[in-house]
């Protein structure tokens, strides 16, 4: 050791493996006389930053406070501004980031003369541009595609779809311009969809899930084209949002008649085949889908073809006949 004064002496500690615990029974010897009191030396690893939460912020969220986590942090600086600690060593500390442009802010730690710094992301504010489909049923589980700009995050938990600013749902982010969210249950006729921490609000119509009780007629010719009437309750009303499905053939546009009826045109099918008949709101994958208890039977045409129209097909005088079965089409008068 080196004498400093009558009350102090400077010593150099021996080497030890970092993280090896404490070096006990440290004493001072002077002229063969050992001190009665013993001290301990604690060996520390290098200072390091392990995590910053939240992992990123938008420029519109500044100023904001972030929490820096690490080990053996002695003193800290945040974007060049030194901040004080409550204790000489720390594993975390809070840091306030002042307003700055989109890009990177430097967050650093100065510990035992060693400077550590990390780049912190200041990102663009997410912008909501549209939602598809334009509406859904009031039941939960409807999947909506959210299009926008700057849908990017250092942490997926930072992005949320907000329904009426009250219900936050974690999205499945596909790209910086597209993500998908699952709707929540509601009794409202309209839902306001927005992005947590982002700009833009989209009005999303909601309506009751349909319930199909019967279909008429219960058969259709194999050529298709039969108008089917689906009866029940809460038939989709808004924006021609009702869609039909015949077995695996879908979606087929439906014509709204009333809140108890919609009509759809049957597709072509294979004779003797049976198909389920269903209606749903906007998409056939909607959890609002409802199917009739009876199925649709595909049958052969039972009557001979009927001439529906005739005329000259070209300047050279070619003649044509147009015919279809009355099982599927309404005959029109010939001339």
List of domains in the chain? 16-45 (no CATH), 48-123 (2.60.40), 127-207 (2.60.40.10), 211-299 (2.60.40.10), 302-335 (no CATH)
- The pLDDT tens digits of the residues spanning 66-106 come to 888 887 776 666 665 666 654 566 778 788 888 888 888 77
Q: Which of 108, 56, 52 is nearest to 80 (CA)?
A: 108
Read out DSSP for 120-186?
EEEEPPPEEEEEESSEEESSS--EEEEEEE----SSGGG--EEETTTEEE--EEEETTEEEEEPPP-
- Mean pLDDT over residues 44-58, rounded? 79
Which pLDDT value is given to residue 156?
A: 58
What is the value of pTM for the model shown? 0.63
Residue 185 vs residues 154, 164, 288: alpha-carbon distances, Å: 29, 11, 12
Q: What is the DSSP letter of 81?
A: E
| CA–CA gap between residue 244 and residue 209 (Å, rounded) | 14
Read out DSSP for 283-323?
STTSTT-EE-SS-EEEE---S--EEEEEEE-STT--EEEEE
Query: 162 φ, ψ to 5°?
Result: -105, 130
- The pLDDT tens digits of the residues spanning 109-150 come to 666 556 777 788 888 888 899 999 988 999 999 999 999 998
- Mean pLDDT over residues 222-238, rounded? 89
- The pLDDT tens digits of the residues spanning 173-202 come to 898 899 999 998 887 888 888 887 788 888
């Amino acid at each position: 050791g080196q004498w400093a004064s009558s009350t102090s002496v400077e010593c150099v500690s021996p080497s030890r493996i970092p993280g090896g615990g404490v070096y006990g029974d440290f004493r001072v010897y002077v002229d063969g006389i050992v001190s009665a009191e013993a001290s301990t030396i604690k060996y520390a690893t290098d200072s390091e930053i392990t995590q910053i939460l939240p992992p990123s912020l938008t420029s519109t969220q500044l100023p904001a406070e972030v929490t820096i986590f690490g080990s053996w942090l002695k003193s800290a600086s945040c974007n060049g501004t030194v901040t004080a600690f409550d204790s000489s060593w720390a594993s975390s500390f809070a840091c306030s980031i002042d307003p700055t442009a989109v890009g990177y802010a430097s967050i650093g730690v100065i510990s035992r003369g060693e400077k550590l710094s990390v780049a912190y992301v200041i990102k663009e504010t997410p912008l909501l541009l549209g939602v598809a489909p334009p509406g859904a049923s009031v039941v939960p589980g409807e999947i909506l595609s959210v299009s926008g700009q700057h849908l990017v995050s250092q942490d997926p938990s930072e992005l949320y779809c907000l329904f009426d600013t009250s219900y936050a749902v974690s999205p499945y982010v596909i790209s910086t311009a597209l993500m998908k969210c699952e709707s929540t249950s509601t009794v409202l006729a309209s839902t306001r969809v927005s992005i947590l921490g982002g700009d833009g609000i989209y009005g999303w119509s909601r309506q009751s899930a349909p319930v199909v009780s019967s279909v008429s007629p219960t058969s259709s010719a194999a050529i298709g084209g039969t108008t089917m009437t689906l009866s029940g309750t809460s038939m989709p009303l808004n924006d021609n949002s009702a869609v039909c499905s015949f077995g695996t053939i879908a979606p087929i546009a439906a014509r709204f008649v009333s809140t108890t009826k919609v009509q759809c045109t049957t597709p072509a099918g294979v004779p003797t085949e049976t198909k389920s008949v269903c209606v749903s709101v906007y998409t056939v994958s909607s959890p609002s889908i409802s199917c009739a208890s009876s199925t649709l039977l595909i049958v052969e045409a039972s009557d001979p073809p009927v001439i529906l129209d005739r005329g000259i097909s070209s300047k050279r005088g070619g003649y044509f006949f147009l015919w279809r079965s009355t099982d599927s089409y309404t005959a029109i008068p010939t001339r």
